[in-house]
Structure 1
């Protein structure tokens, strides 16, 4: 359990209140929260819980195995015996097949070894992204809990317009943190587009 999990346990009522006010009362026209709602397409509480559902450990645990597989492919490519001691068409055909197999195992960007290494690199990047995203949303949530907007939403009988302003302010900050983080993730995945291309056999 990290800071985000701890804060969500404490901030459940506040997030529920933010979501309820935005759903039932709305937000001021032209407020930033509308733009962020369009970006995320989730209410602030749901967005915070979606970030909390990111589990970096599950991905991080797969990295050593991916790197080990990449080394296995490299070792297999190196272990393919040369056509030494024999000549002729059969030897030439074998050498052609050996080079092709070695390149497929651990050659250029489309080789199995390169794909495994690139996948491990992506997993490392996604793990870092998840940790940063969780920490970022936790920081915003901690600030929201100590804000005057939180007091307006959870204490006393404030006018609906004041509650709408408060919910919009907290919601915009939380949604912006989530949206910016997911934009970063999209950039990471776009940068690894070569992994989405099927290997040629």
Structure 2
């Protein structure tokens, strides 16, 4: 259990309260929350749950296996036997094939070992990003829980509506929008980082030439 798991239980009800206020009254037309909603495309509580579902350990565990597979490819390429005393067209054809297989296994930019190493690098980077994302969101939620906006929402009648809830007051609406926007802004920034990582690794989606 990390810091995000610890703070999530307290933060989720607050975010749901903010969502209920905004659902009842909407947010101010020019408030930044609208931009953040367009970026993230999730309400704050759901967006937080999406980050909380990230598990960096699973990726970090795959890195050694990927690097081991890359070393195996390099070893297999180095162990391909030359023709030796074998001569003639068949020997030349075999040696040509041996070099092509070796290049496919290791050394070249599009070789299997280079692709496996690049995949390991990506897994390592994504695992690091997930860890940083969880830590950053945990710190953000802790800030939100200690904010004056959180206090406003906790005492808001609209936050815990009775059978016939009263319309939210302007202060409640502003507090809900501020809380939601702050959380979504942090998550949007985190996912921009992840998009850049994936964009820089698009070559991994291309088939290796045979």
TM-score range, shorter chain: over 0.9
| 1:66-85 matched pairs, under 5 angstroms | 66-85=66-85
Mapped contact 1:22–1:168 kept (Cα < 8 A): yes
Q: In the alignment, is residue 174 of structure 1 matched against residue 203 of structure 2? A: no
Number of aligned pairs? 201
User: Which structure 2 residues correspond to residues 31-46 of structure 1 after superposition, within 5 A?
Assistant: 31-46=31-46
RMSD of equivalent CA atoms: 1.2
Q: TM-score, normalised by structure 1?
A: 0.96
Q: CA deviation at 1:24?
A: 2.1
User: Counterpart in 1 of 2:171?
Assistant: 162
Rounded to whole Å, the distance in 2 between the matches of 1:48 and 1:161 is 25
* Structure 2 residue ranges without an equivalent (≥5): 159-167
Cα distance in 2 for partners of 1:23, 1:59 equals 37
2:192 to 176, 180, 183: 183
Q: Kindly provide the CA deviation profile for residues 69-128 of structure 1, in whole angstroms up to 9, marking residues without a partner as x.
A: 001000000000111222221221111000000011113121111111110000000001
| Counterpart position of 1:119 | 119
Aligned-residue offset at 1:156: 5.1
- Unpaired segments of 5 or more residues in structure 1? none
Farther-moved stretch of structure 1 (81-90 vs 91-100) = 81-90
- The answer to whether the 8 Å contact 2:21/2:173 transfers is yes
Deviates more, 1:6-15 or 1:68-77: 6-15
- 8 Å CA contact 2:104–2:110 kept in 1: the answer is yes
Q: TM-score, normalised by structure 2?
A: 0.92
CA distance in 2, matches of 1:179, 1:13: 21
Whether the 8 Å contact between 1:18 and 1:45 is mirrored in structure 2 is no
Q: How far apart are the structure 1 equivalents of 2:121 and 2:66?
A: 9
State the match for 2:59 in structure 1.
Answer: 59
User: Where in structure 1 do 4 or more consecutive aligned residues deviate above 6 Å?
Assistant: none
Q: Distance in 2 between matches of 1:107 and 1:170?
A: 52
Question: Which piece of structure 1 moves more, 174-183 or 10-19?
Answer: 10-19
CA shift at 1:157, angstroms? 4.7
